[in-house]
Structure 1
Amino acid sequence: MILTVTPNPALDMTWEIDRIEPGGAHRADTGAVRAGGKGLNVARVAHAEGYAALAITTVGGATGAELRAELDASGMPHLLVPVAAATRRSIAWVDRSLGDTTIVNERGISATREEWAQFVATVFEQAAFASVVVISGSFPPGAPEGLLEALIAAAGDRPVIVDTSGPLLLAAADAGVAVLKPNKVELAEATGLDDPIGGARELLRRGAGLIMLSLGADGMLAITATGILHARLPETLAGNPTGAGDAAVAAVATLLDSGERDTETILRRATAWSAAAVLMPLAGEISPQHPQLANALIVTDATNQKDSE
């Protein structure tokens, strides 16, 4: 079973607009509302692709009630830890004319120490039944120091995948997690290094096992202590990239759940599923075209390449 942990969930609200004009008034059809947050998106993709997955997150306030109702209706297995603070919102505007998306994420409100203790205890209990643990997304401002480390420790000796940013990315590397999945901006901000290869190697030096580095339209790098592989599509896809990184994490998690450890196999699925997510209107979904996308990938050995450019 894949266990996903989302410390800072969001009620995702998405509108498609013909063309966004800064400062202008816009009309749109009724938007889509969905329980979101990176770990929930990971679990949705894994569940939809036929893998056993359980999502753990917090829930609070009126927005939390909407999040709970949507999750209950989705059929995706989940455990919700009640908190006093209202669940945050994430708003996405999809510009049809440009094929891009503008996103505003609320930062979220931290739970209390007692609520966090219950959250960690729930992860510890459920990790006993898991084959891989995924910790995804931001942590709300004011979350206690050491929370990420406690969640990683709750996984025991199971492989842990972490998709986060800032100092937490370094903390996850220091904890020796199996996989980290930053993008270039997150990697530079965390390590202070402009060279993404150098930044990835710093995370490896700290103790991470595999770095899956998102390059956006340029595909993805898989970086280990022994080499670098680069996967990309021959042509750039237009669409909504909101859940692309989460789909990549789901791809890695499903392969680790199946016992697969080959780096190229993991990179191929992660890149294909990430691209397949761009073709879908909402995060947490991937296009059924992902096998064709996987077959179209160009994979090269970039071990001797100085950087990702």
Structure 2
Amino acid sequence: MILTLTPNPAVDVTLVTEHVDRGASRSIETALRRAGGKGVNVSRVLAQQGVPTHAVLPVGRDDEAWFRADLATVPHTLVVCEAPTRHSYAIVETGEDTTSMLNESGSARGAREWDDLLTALHGPVRRADVLVASGSLPPGAPTGTLQALTVLGRAAGVPVVLDVAGAHLLAAADAGADVLKPNRDELVAALGEVDPLDGARALQRRGARLVVVSLGADGMLLVPVHGDPVHARLPAPLHGNPTGAGDAAVAAVASLVRGRDVASLDHEDLTAVARRAVAWSAAAVLSPWAGSLGGDPAALEHDVVLGARPATSGPPDARPVP
């Protein structure tokens, strides 16, 4: 079972329109609302693909019933908090083939609520093959949160996969995460590194093990501590909604490292992880909302191209895949 933690979940609202008339009014179809947040999206993708999963997330007291109903198909544990759950808004312009995101930062949570959240992991982690913590942390999150999660996973004997950004990305590396999944922009923001391989190596010098870098239209770069990096991409970028494509990649990675010592993965193992991560990420682009895959992920795996190390930036007209 793959256990996911979403420290800062959201009510994901997707608005679809041909284009946005700035400063004007426009009628649209009814907005789609789903329980979201990166860890929730990971669990949704895994459940869709038949991989056992369990999602743990804090929610506002007034949002509990709605989240429980919306996550009916995903095994989950809700930790009820006083502050309301944040919202995120995806504005999909079909005429422009663009998606814009507006994300609330979320509300601060009390020390006891953080304790309750970590306590909620103790039972499920004993049955887990992987512990995934994914997404932003709300304002005021304890500085030792990622360290505590890594210690919890290590004590349970399972790999810890972390998908966080900014200062939390550096903290995750310092905590010795088994897998880190930044994208290229997050590497630059956290480290000032332009080259993705250099950025991955910098995270490993801080303590991270396998680093999986999303490169947009250029695919993904998997950098092990020992051995050669693996670069994988599709022959051409896909068009659609990229919101959640990185979460699908995390789900793919977690599905293939569960119960494994990440340091023991050989080149063949890494190649399999790279193929699935690119394929699931691309399939997520073909879905209209985050947390699901469209198209045929298995067929996309066969289309993945393995090649030399990528350039530091993609072509200027490329659409993002992961």
TM-score tier after normalising by the smaller chain length? over 0.9
Aligned residue number for residue 245 of structure 1: 246
Helix, strand or coil for the counterpart of 1:110?
Answer: coil
* Contact kept? 2:166, 2:186, Cα under 8 Å: yes
Q: Secondary structure at the match of 2:221?
A: strand
Aligned equivalent of 1:103 = 101
Aligned to 2:62: 62
- Distance (whole Å) between structure 2 residues aligned to residue 236 and residue 23 of structure 1: 33
Mind listing any 5+ residue stretches in structure 2 that lack a counterpart?
Answer: 315-322
Q: Deviations over 1:102-153 (max 9, x none)?
A: 1100000121100100111111222111010000000001112211211221
Among all aligned residue pairs of Structure 1 and Structure 2, give the percentage whose two residues are the same amino acid.
Answer: 46
How many residues are matched? 305
Q: Once the 2 structures are TM-superposed, how far is the Cα of residue 288 of structure 1 from its aligned partner?
A: 4.0
Query: Which of 273, 294, 297 is the matching residue for 1:287?
Result: 294
Partners of 2:311 and 2:246 in 1: how far apart? Answer: 24
Determine if contact 1:11/1:66 at 8 Å carries over to the other structure: no
The AA in structure 1 aligned to 2:285 is: V
1:182 is matched with 182
2:61 and 2:80 in contact (8 A); partners too:
no
Q: Distance in 2 between matches of 1:131 and 1:258?
A: 5
| C-alpha contact (below 8 Å) 1:6/1:40 kept by paired residues | yes
1:265 aligns with 2:272: yes
- Decide whether the 8 Å contact of 1:100 with 1:238 is kept in 2: no
For residues 11 and 64 of structure 2, what CA distance do their matches in structure 1 show? 7
3-state SS of 1:188 partner: helix
Q: What is the deviation of 1:65?
A: 4.1
Contact 1:200 1:223 in 2 (8 A): yes
Q: Does the CA-based 8 Å contact 2:158-2:259 persist in structure 1?
A: no
Q: Given the superposition, is the C-alpha separation of residues 140 and 204 from structure 1 closer, same or farther in structure 2, using an over 3 Å criterion?
A: same
User: Which position in structure 2 is the counterpart of 1:112?
Assistant: 110
After TM superposition, the score normalised by the length of structure 1 is: 0.94
Equivalent residue of 2:89, what SS? strand
Give yes or no for the alignment of 1:298 onto 2:298.
Answer: no
Q: How many angstroms does 1:174 deviate by? A: 1.4
Quote the offset at 1:61 in angstroms. Answer: 4.1
Is the CA contact 2:194–2:312 (under 8 Å) kept in the aligned structure 1? no
Q: Secondary structure at the match of 1:111?
A: coil
Q: Which amino acid aligns with 2:49?
A: E
Please tell me whether the aligned partners of residues 220 and 231 of structure 1 are also in contact (alpha carbons under 8 angstroms): yes
- Provide the secondary structure at the position in 2 that maps to 1:57: strand
Q: Decide whether aligned partners of structure 1 residues 44 and 306 sit closer, same or farther in structure 2, where only a CA change above 3 A counts.
A: closer
Choose the corresponding residue for 1:122, options 116, 120, 123.
120
What letter is aligned with 1:218? D
Which range moves more in the overlay, 28-37 or 173-182? Answer: 173-182
| Maintained 8 Å contact 1:64/1:87 | no
Q: How does 1:42-81 map onto structure 2 within 5 Å?
A: 42-72=42-72, 75-81=73-79
Deviation at 1:301, TM superposition (A): 3.5
Partner SS, residue 292 of structure 1: helix
Instruction: Give the deviation of 1:195 after TM superposition.
Output: 2.5
User: Is the 8 Å Cα contact of residues 130 and 259 (structure 2) preserved in structure 1?
Assistant: no
Does the residue aligned with 2:202 lie in a helix, a strand or coil?
helix
User: Deviation at 1:62?
Assistant: 3.4
**TM-score, normalization by structure 2:** 0.90
Q: Matches of 1:93 and 1:130 in 2, distance apart?
A: 35
| RMSD value, Cα | 1.6
CA drift of 1:63 comes to 4.1
CA distance in 2, matches of 1:71, 1:149: 28
Q: How far apart are 1:46 and its partner, in Å? A: 0.6
Instruction: Give the equivalent residue in structure 2 for 1:214.
Output: 214
For 1:287, the aligned partner's letter is: G
